[in-house]
Amino acid sequence: MSTNIQRPRLYMDEHKLKQDPHDYGLADEPFNLETFKKKFQIVVVKYDGNEMEFDMIGVHPGIANAFRRLMLSEVPSMAIEKVYIYNNTSIMQDEVLAHRLGLIPLRADPRRFLYKTEESGDQGNEHDTLEFELKVKCTRRKDVKDSSNFDTIYKNHKVYSGQIKWLPKGKQSQIFSETDVGCIHDDILINQLRPGHELDLRLIAVKGIGKDHAKFSPVATAFYRLLPEIKLNRRIEGKEAFLLQKCFSPGVIGIDENDCAYVKDARYDTCSRNVYRYPQLENAVTMARVRDHYIFNVESVGALKPDVIFIEAVKVLKGKCRKFLEEIEAA
């Protein structure tokens, strides 16, 4: 039974959730840093470019959730915050255009910038602000006739994020290159123009956090789920085996050479309770989740790598503790 306590499970019955009879719940076990360190485990499962999947084992939901919340809303990134509109004769309203520009992800590393303060003024300075410009004018191509394709008869009728030009402030041009700070994607359609329409904009990007506006969030998604566990309680063969396979996500249930079902990989199951619909599969499976095994998925927008985002999130939590500890010690 000791294995059950090491791996506390939540059973997903047909109509209810059930705790393990040997599991006395979350609040029961006293907190001790040494026992935490012994139980705590992180395993990186997948790390591919902007996406990362890792397991955090032996941790309480309050802590795991704090990390998730921090990645979403308190890890900083850079985004366009102010747009000076010198000319906008397109059909898109100024405020809509400014909002769209704000949502464009920038590659600038937020760790190399400071938060903009009141003192640095409207324009900001080289340490806290990035400046860009977007100047586009749409014209008709004189040489093209007998065509109704906008791409051939108009010039600049589509405005893409790649047309945004960086204007280095102060010594920024010595530290950064345009690819270090500019737009991550150069194919984001910002606006559409017609001949005679013109855009003349100056964009001011600052450092901020997701709590203030979602555009500052460094992650596209950051979520966790508990590790699913599926057990077959009896031998399931033939037609029933294929029915069982259909009840779960693809790849979860395998069927061997004797047409007998087995659990191949429960990890990526969605934990739908479809099996319970079939009377012939009654009591055939036990579905559970491991209560302290969190599968984190972090998908970065592109400015920071996902592992850096996680470390930054933990550092934010550490910083909060430090701040209040210092205040207590000063009192």
Identify whether the C-beta of residue 77 lies closer than 8 Å to the C-beta of residue 304: yes
Residue type, position 234, single letter: R
Which helix (H) or strand (E) segment holds residue 132: the answer is strand 129-137
- Rounded Cα distance between 135 and 164, Å, is 8
Tell me which residues in 182-221 interact with other proteins (CB under 8 A): none
Structure tokens at 165: 């030009």
61 binds other proteins (CB under 8 A): yes
27 binds other proteins (CB under 8 A): yes
144 binds other proteins (CB under 8 A): no
Residues with Cβ within 8 Å of residue 331, at least 6 apart in sequence: none
- Choose which of 5, 42, 96, 167 interacts with other proteins (CB under 8 A): 42
- Choose which of 5, 22, 25, 65 interacts with other proteins (CB under 8 A): 65
Comparing CB distances to other proteins, the nearer of 18 and 320 is 320
DSSP 111: G
- Choose which of 15, 142, 277, 323 interacts with other proteins (CB under 8 A): 323
265 binds other proteins (CB under 8 A): yes
Q: How many CB atoms lie within 10 A of CB 120?
A: 16
Identify whether the C-beta of residue 161 lies closer than 8 Å to the C-beta of residue 185: yes
As measured in angstroms, the least distance from the Cβ of 291 to other proteins is 13
Q: What is the DSSP string of 171-189?
A: THHHH--HHHHSBS-S--E
231 binds other proteins (CB under 8 A): yes
Identify whether the C-beta of residue 107 lies closer than 8 Å to the C-beta of residue 181: yes
- Choose which of 203, 244, 261, 298 interacts with other proteins (CB under 8 A): 261
As measured in angstroms, the least distance from the Cβ of 57 to other proteins is 8
- Segment contacting other proteins (CB under 8 A): 132-140, 160-168, 183-191, 233-241? 233-241
150 binds other proteins (CB under 8 A): no
CA distances from 125 to 108, 122, 171, 209 (A): 15, 9, 10, 19
Q: What is the binding site for other proteins (CB under 8 A)?
A: 7, 26-27, 29-31, 33, 36-37, 40-45, 47, 54-55, 60-63, 65-67, 69-70, 73-74, 227, 229-232, 234-236, 260-267, 290, 307, 310-311, 314-315, 317-318, 320-325, 327-328, 331
